């Protein structure tokens, strides 16, 4: 290579060996500036919106729930309209623990995630059979069964009246949940950040790369002998555990659990959030949750009678001009500028 062509490359740092899997994973999991911007904005919300802490904590919890769905939808191609089953299971688990003497929040959060993950493993054999339509019907059926069980078992769940008298101890014995929602938002944001970091490592690991290959070309992946079913069960279990932790966060921060946590509209709404933000981008569900929940709040205040009309119009326009969601649209704009 001549000096005229080699000179610009002398300023670049040496790249890691592309054939080294460990180097590839470490390089892929390094944070980029758009991700850092997301967390800077989230932390700045403490000072910018001090009176909106309850809404912000709800956004963080719903964003985690959307990320859990994106793990199976965006990276494994599994469509679910009953993901609220795991969200509600985690919420009721944390609520029952808090009501019957287990008031420590961190361990309650972990137990809720473990139970939701175990149920996800048990139901994954049903969900992963058949076509996409079959999977949708099975997920809806699982959520409907759990919803009806929670409704009828009033001695345990409170039924339609909800689960009350949930008591949650201060976090690490120091930070007590207050009526302003400040501790709830900090707690939810910390859990979200930790689980987002773990999810990022997961999707950049060989498991995540295999799932993306399965989503794009399942026939080829089966032909090379990859353990497809086993890896789908793993990601479905992780997704269920994430949803269970999100539900447990809701129960702990509000200290109340209602049948709404298992309702069909919660599953449909979180699916819309993932589509709005961009499926398969990991941060798409989080961005979609922020945009949709803020839009719901603003539009319902501006036009209480017609706010759903504007929400529907936003989705129609997005599907016409940005089928990859908001992050997909941003990616297209950046590629065109380049």
CA 225, CA 220: separation in Å to the nearest integer? Answer: 9
CA 91, CA 321: separation in Å to the nearest integer? Answer: 37
User: Would you place residue 60 in the very low, low, confident or very high pLDDT band (cuts 50, 70, 90)?
Assistant: very high
Phi first, then psi, for residue 175 (nearest 5°) are: -95, 115
User: Would you place residue 16 in the very low, low, confident or very high pLDDT band (cuts 50, 70, 90)?
Assistant: very low
Q: Which of 76-85, 182-191, 201-210 is most confident? A: 182-191
pLDDT of residue 261: 93
Residue with the bigger pLDDT between 212 and 249: it is 249
pLDDT of residue 15: 41
User: Would you place residue 149 in the very low, low, confident or very high pLDDT band (cuts 50, 70, 90)?
Assistant: very high
pLDDT of residue 24: 52
pLDDT of residue 307: 77
Q: How high does pLDDT run on average in the chain?
A: 83
CA 275, CA 270: separation in Å to the nearest integer? Answer: 9
H runs (alpha helix) in 128-205 = 132-152, 154-157, 182-204
Burial class (CB in 10 A: 0-12, 13-18, 19+), 84: buried
User: Would you place residue 21 in the very low, low, confident or very high pLDDT band (cuts 50, 70, 90)?
Assistant: low
User: Would you place residue 337 in the very low, low, confident or very high pLDDT band (cuts 50, 70, 90)?
Assistant: confident
CA 331, CA 306: separation in Å to the nearest integer? Answer: 32
Q: What is the pTM of this model?
A: 0.87
pLDDT of 29 over the 80 cut: no
Q: Above pLDDT 70, what percent of the chain?
A: 86
Range 198-221 average pLDDT: 76
Non-local CB neighbours of 68 within 8 Å, separated by 6+ positions: 83, 86, 239, 240, 241, 242, 243, 246, 285
Q: What is the pLDDT of residues 272-325, one digit of tens each?
A: 999 888 888 888 889 999 999 998 888 888 877 777 888 888 888 877 777 777
pLDDT of residue 217: 65
């Amino acid at each position: 290579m001549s000096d005229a062509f080699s000179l610009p490359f002398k300023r670049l740092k040496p790249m890691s060996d592309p054939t080294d899997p460990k180097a590839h994973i470490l390089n892929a999991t390094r944070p980029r500036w758009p991700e850092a911007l997301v967390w800077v904005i989230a932390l700045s919300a403490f000072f910018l919106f001090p009176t909106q802490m309850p809404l912000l904590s709800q956004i963080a919890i719903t964003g985690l729930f959307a990320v859990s769905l994106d793990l199976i939808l965006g990276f494994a191609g599994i469509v679910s309209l009953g993901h609220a089953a795991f969200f509600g299971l985690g919420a009721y688990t944390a609520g029952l623990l808090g009501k019957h003497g287990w008031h420590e929040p961190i361990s309650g959060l972990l137990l809720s995630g473990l139970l939701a993950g175990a149920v996800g493993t048990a139901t994954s054999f049903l969900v992963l059979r058949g076509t996409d339509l079959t999977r949708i019907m099975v997920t809806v059926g699982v959520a409907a069964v759990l919803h009806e069980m929670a409704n009828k078992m009033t001695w345990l769940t409170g039924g339609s009246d909800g689960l009350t008298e949930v008591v949650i101890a201060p976090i690490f014995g120091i930070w007590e949940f207050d009526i302003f929602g400040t501790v709830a938002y900090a707690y939810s944001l910390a859990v979200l950040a930790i689980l987002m970091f773990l999810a990022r490592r997961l999707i950049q690991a060989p498991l995540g790369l295999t799932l993306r290959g399965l989503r794009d070309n399942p026939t080829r992946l089966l032909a090379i002998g990859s353990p497809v079913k086993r890896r789908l069960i793993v990601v479905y279990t992780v997704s269920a555990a994430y949803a269970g932790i999100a539900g447990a966060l809701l129960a702990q921060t509000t200290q109340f659990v209602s049948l709404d946590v298992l309702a069909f509209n919660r599953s449909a709404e979180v699916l819309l959030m993932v589509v709005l933000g961009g499926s398969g981008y990991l941060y798409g569900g989080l961005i979609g949750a922020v945009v949709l929940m803020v839009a719901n709040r603003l539009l319902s205040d501006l036009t209480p009678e017609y706010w759903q009309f504007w929400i529907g119009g936003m989705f129609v326009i997005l599907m016409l001009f940005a089928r990859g969601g908001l992050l997909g649209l941003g990616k297209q704009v950046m590629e065109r500028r380049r």
